[in-house]
Amino acid sequence: MRCKDANGHITYTLQGCIPGQSLELQNAHNPPPGSIPPSLKPMPESTSNGQRRTPIINVIGSKEPPCESTLSAEEKRRAIIRKQIRQGMTKAEVESSLGRPNRIIESNGQSRYLYQPATKRSRNGERSISVSFDEYGCTKGASPKRQRGKSGQ
């Protein structure tokens, strides 16, 4: 939908226009590249003093940038199956690999998942794992930590 207010400001939205704006439905036809010849860019509007005025476009909402990863989809699947955490994985991919964390620490828009073995003293050498995420929910890294125990026990 395209909403235009009395001052000529235009807003594109999926939710509808606010009172006092005119509504125009938009056709979002996006032909594949090369299927139609290129068109000329429209000229900006002129103001009363002869200067050209370029319309201002405000983007209200946008999709968060995806996690940048050098892994292919197949490599990510393989890492999840092997319970490995790689840089650039999402929170959902980490939880798919390791399950729900024992503890989540949030600080300054970033978070950290803590995974601990089922018992405090693990006989098979299980380690606790800390997975750090950036503000977009993408892994920055994972660090295994050896369980600390008192000597002689």
Specify the pLDDT at position 32: 78
- Of 117, 107, 76, 116, which Cα lies nearest the Cα of 94? 76
Residue 63 has pLDDT above 50, yes or no: yes
Specify the pLDDT at position 46: 59
Specify the pLDDT at position 151: 41
Q: What is the pLDDT of residues 32-59, one digit of tens each?
A: 777 777 666 665 555 666 666 666 776 6
Q: Contact at 8 Å (CB) between 113 and 96? A: no
Q: What is the pLDDT of residues 79-138, one digit of tens each?
A: 999 988 988 888 989 999 999 999 999 988 889 999 988 766 555 566 788 999 888 888
Per-residue pLDDT, averaged over 59-82, amounts to 76
Burial class (CB in 10 A: 0-12, 13-18, 19+), 93: buried
Specify the pLDDT at position 113: 93
Q: Contact at 8 Å (CB) between 17 and 1? A: yes
Specify the pLDDT at position 102: 93
